[in-house]
Amino acid sequence: MKVLVADDSGIMRKIIIRSLNSVGVTDIVEAANGQEAIDKYKETPVDLILTDWNMPEKSGLDVVVEIRATGSQVPIIMVTTEAQKGQVISAIQAGVNDYLTKPFEADDLRAKLDKFVSV
């Protein structure tokens, strides 16, 4: 199983990757901004995407919209500090499958991953 992790914070990517490793996922592609996430997804389709919302170049919402526009149904989890109801609704309407607000505990992320990860 291949997973794309998009976050402009290298530390957040490390934390997320640590959780992915803990559920047996080691095939991971990293992106440090929204455009890089879109480009990497187009180069190498993955089985799951975890994306931040606020990123340079393009936002996580842009990532969701552009990937869904290709017809892809890849599961996408938004991992973000954006917790206002309107924004959660916007993300879900754009095609996000699940939503996790920062800060989160490792168990919260693992619970989300368990829904989508098949190793």
Point out which residues bind another protein (CB under 8 A): 8-12, 14-15, 54-56, 80-84, 86, 101-105
CA neighbours closer than 13 Å in the CB half-sphere of residue 60 = 29
Q: With respect to another protein, which residue has the nearer C-beta, 72 or 87?
A: 87
Minimum CB–partner distance for residue 57 and another protein (Å): 11
As measured in angstroms, the least distance from the Cβ of 102 to another protein is 5
Are 69 and 99 in contact by the 8 Å Cβ rule? The answer is no
Angle in degrees, CA 75, 108, 16, rounded to 5: 65
CA pair distance 104, 51, nearest whole angstrom? 14
Distances (CA, A) of 4 to 87, 89, 107: 22, 23, 20
CB of 72 to another protein, least distance (A): 27
43 or 107, CB closer to another protein?
A: 107
Residue 49 and residue 41 in contact, taking contact as beta carbons nearer than 8 Å: yes
Nearest distance from C-beta of residue 84 to another protein, angstroms: 6
Identity of the residue, 11 or 119, whose beta carbon is nearer to another protein in the bound complex: 11
Between residues 71 and 103, which has the closer beta carbon with respect to another protein? 103
